Amino acid sequence: MVYPLDQVLVVMPAFNESEVISQVISEVRAILPGVSVLVVSDGSTDGTVEVARAAGAQVLELPFNLGVGGAMRLGFRYAVENGFPVAVQLDSDGQHNPADVPALVAELERFDVAIGARFAGEGEYTVRGPRRWAMKFLSGTLSRALATRLTDTTSGFKAHGPRAVALFAQDFPAEYLGDTIESLVTGHRGGLTFTQVGVAMRERAGGTPSHNQLKSAVYLGRAFFALVIAFLRPRRWTTAAA
Non-local (6+) Cβ contacts of 240 within 8 A are 112, 163, 164, 166, 167, 187, 190, 191, 192
Residue numbers in the chain where pLDDT is lower than 70: 119-135, 203-223, 225-226, 229-230, 233-242
Helix then strand then coil, in percent of the chain rounded to 5, is 45, 15, 40
Q: What is the pLDDT of residue 204?
A: 60
Q: What is the pLDDT of residue 180?
A: 85
pLDDT of 110-151, one tens digit each? 999 999 997 644 545 455 556 666 667 778 888 888 888 888
pTM for this entry? 0.84
Strands 158-160 and 86-89: antiparallel
3-state secondary structure of 198: strand
**Whether 53 contacts 59, CB under 8 Å:** yes
